[in-house]
Amino acid sequence: MKNSTALSIVLLFALLVTAISGCVVGADDASKENIVWVGTPPAKNEDVEEKIIQHMIPYAGTEYGNITISASKENDKLRLHVSGVSANSMRPDLYDFTYDYDKNELIRVSYLLEAIPESVRGKAIGIAMQNEQIREILSADMGGSSIPSVKRILPETAEKFYEPKILLSVTWKDSSVSALVDMDTREVAEVWSGN
């Protein structure tokens, strides 16, 4: 291999590593600046923040503008309630975690992800309402005039009902009916009725 070729390869690799490093560091710094603790931050709060950021999953193409964390101590663990607000939705994403100080381990206990762009939210509702089964239930129930909730369902849960991908759950609580929507195919994957 010629020396000039080898030098070019080394320079290109250096550029690649620099670019990747800048991407990761830049993302972390931008997220941490927007973290607010309710009350006094707990011990090792920076470690906790870093792990929380790694576990939060904003809607594709968006990022959290503000992250609010509240914590309560339970024996050697922290119970954390986290809210992430995105610029493109009026609803937050909510997460519950526990953090084990001894193991330096963060475990996600629950999530409720409603920070979805309004246009996507509207499309999901429209897809759900074009399902015949959903329409029948809603038309038979006065609650069909209420506005449904739209929540993201993560792949590990979606896999149990359809495929391991992010789906949207459109739920009319008053009517006890819900549609699991695949936004890629614009179809209803599953319908649930609690009546």
Partner 1 sequence: MPYPDYINSMHFSVDVWTPPKIQIQTPYIGGRVESGETYDYEIKLENIADKDISIDPKINENNRMYDYGPYGSMSAAFEDNAITITGPSVVKAGETVIVNVHLEVPDDSKGRYNGAIDLGIDDPSIREWEGEVQMNFEVWTQPTEPYTKTFTTGADDTITIEISSNPFSEYAYGMWMDSNTQDRKEPSFDVTLEGESGEVEMTLVKTTYSGSVSLGMSNFPPWEVDSTGIYQDISSSYVEEYSVSGAAGDWTLGILPSNADMFSYTIAFGPGE
- Residue 65 found at the interface with partner 1 (CB under 8 A): yes
Binding residue for partner 1, selected from 15, 36, 38, 107, defined by CB under 8 A = 15
Instruction: Give residues 132-171 in contact with partner 1 (rule: CB under 8 A).
Output: 135, 138-139, 146-147, 151, 153-154, 157-158, 160-161, 167, 169, 171
Residues with Cβ < 8 Å from 87, sequence gap 6 or more? 62, 65
Nearest residue (CB) to partner 1, 35 versus 86 = 86
Q: How far apart are CA 89 and CA 84, in angstroms?
A: 11
Token representation of residue 166: 């992010």
51 torsion bin: left (phi>0), alpha (psi -120 to 50), beta (else): alpha
Strand ranges in 27-182 using DSSP code E only, listed in sequence order = 35-37, 64-74, 77-86, 93-100, 105-113, 149-153, 167-172, 177-182
H or E element that contains 189: strand 187-193
Binding residue for partner 1, selected from 163, 173, 184, 185, defined by CB under 8 A = 173
- Shortest Cβ 161–partner 1 spacing (Å): 5
Number of residues that bind partner 1 (CB under 8 A): 60
Question: What's the sign of the alpha-carbon dihedral 45, 49, 52, 54?
Answer: negative
Binding stretches for partner 1 (CB under 8 A) = 1, 5, 9, 12, 15-16, 19, 22-23, 26-27, 30, 61-62, 65, 85-92, 94, 96, 109-112, 117-119, 122-123, 125-126, 129-130, 135, 138-139, 146-147, 151, 153-154, 157-158, 160-161, 167, 169, 171, 173, 176, 178, 180, 190, 192, 194
